[in-house]
Amino acid sequence: MSQTITLYVDGACRGNGKDVAVGGWGAFIQTGTEEHKIYGGELQTTNNRMELTAAIEGISICPKDTKLVIWTDSNYVKKGITEWIEGWKRKNWKDVKNPDLWKQLDAVCQGREIEWNWIKGHAGHAGNEMADHLANLGADLALKNNGIARHVPQIQFEKPSSNEAQDIKKPEQDWLLDDPFGLELAEDMAEEEIIEIMEEETEIEIETNLENDTETEENSIENQLHPQIVITPATLEAHGPRQLILDTETTGFYYQDGDRIIEVGAIEMINRKLTGSSIHIYINPQKPVGESVTVHGITDEFLQDKPLFEDISQVLFDYLKGAEIIAHNATFDMNFLDMEFTRAGFPALSEVCEVTDTLAMAKSRHPGQKNSLDALVRRYEIPQRDRTFHGALLDAEILSDVYLAMTGGQVSFDMEALSHTEEQSTSSGAVRIEIELPVILPSAEELEAHENWVKQYEEKHGAPCLFAK
């Protein structure tokens, strides 16, 4: 059995697709007992090119007689090298983007045993997060050098014992020997369409904007957070899609008229359990808060020394993107967040996040009733908190309780409790179900139409109808 090396590879590009772009790549290499980190970057590139370069560099540095287990958050790379590349070769790379890098990747894979895997980016996986961090170090290094830069130290890998069998992928034969007349080209048409869709839909990522000081990785980690950004790490280890219960406070109601965000709070939930992770930021809107102070209690004086949105935008975007955003009257919050991120040079947050509106959910479940956050707290008998003033993080915490209550409460797999419930159901017979029915009052026009109908009925039949008795 050959030695196995695990590779996490990732690319980053700030200003992807724009006139001015700086990109970076990173590879986090794990052997049985050691870890190695390499990274680099260049100017005027794209996110896809950096993803490919990360894979090429990571594979190239590993011994050819080792088995590689590669993890990438780019479906473009994973599907390209495992599914589409043979079709590209048969077409002589016609209409393929980045053919130079695809040819390099194909070449370094020949004669190797490689297992390719996809992993969701920015989902909290340590290996993927490290590769993302290294890619951003590479971008910083390229920016500092004003050109192509590489940080690839000499690595001494452990050598497998001489009696270990070598399980190596054989080099692939020239396609002309297998299909000299190109009869399989027709089969590639549907594949070509898939490729075009993948390249068009590849997410345009604007990755973490770390400080320019890249002397050590530790300094970069310390410097990436603004001192007034409060991020609480998770205390519960959970795996699954991230949900972020979010709330904002603003200077007013109308983002179109220049109102700005002054506070953002979000808490993380995975598999219907709060992980303990949260983010909370106060923001200087560069304008008076006005009468909105009566709602949130945040004054102009308090916000004077707080960071501008562009100062915290990178960290906030990285924390939020890829998650499902849950908010009450989500259209309000997302309109403001989209506006702020767009002004800071990022994609709209709604383009990189799924959004769930608990106000819309509440209206669907309780038509004709009050569905404000306070009303839902009373309806679902959620413990009261002091809400003299609204606060983003406080409202997010309350909304998490409301969301869990509206969607079925906490999920329990306590078998004894389930058995006890079944016994109660068997002994009690009929179960009483309480349902709140909506009361919809008629309008003045409807009342008038009803009265006219009652009179017409009596004139026609000579007796009043049931409704008039």
Rounded CA separation 80/93 (Å): 12
Check if the beta carbon of residue 349 is closer than 8 Å to that of residue 341.
Answer: yes
**Token pair of 24 as six digits:** 């970076």
* Of 60, 57, 75, 43, the residue nearest 9 (C-alpha): 57
Please answer whether residues 379 and 348 qualify as being in contact, where contact means their C-beta atoms are separated by less than 8 angstroms: no
Backbone phi, then psi, for 394, in 5-degree steps?
A: -60, -45
Asked if 390 is an active-site residue, the reply is yes
The residues that bridge with 279 in the sheet, in sequence order, are: 231, 266
E-state strands within 252-387: 261-270, 273-282, 324-327, 354-357
- Class of residue 468 by CB neighbours under 10 A (exposed 0-12, middle 13-18, buried 19+): exposed
Kindly list the distances between the CA atom of residue 387 and the CA atoms of 118, 297, 306, 404, in Å, as whole numbers in the listed order. Answer: 44, 11, 23, 20
- 427 Cβ neighbours under 8 A, 6+ residues apart: none
- Which listed residue (125, 390, 420, 461) is catalytic? 390
Interior/surface letters 77-104, b for 16+ CB within 10 angstroms, e for the rest: bbbbbeebbbbbbbeeeeebbbeebbeb
Give catalytic residues, as residue numbers: 390
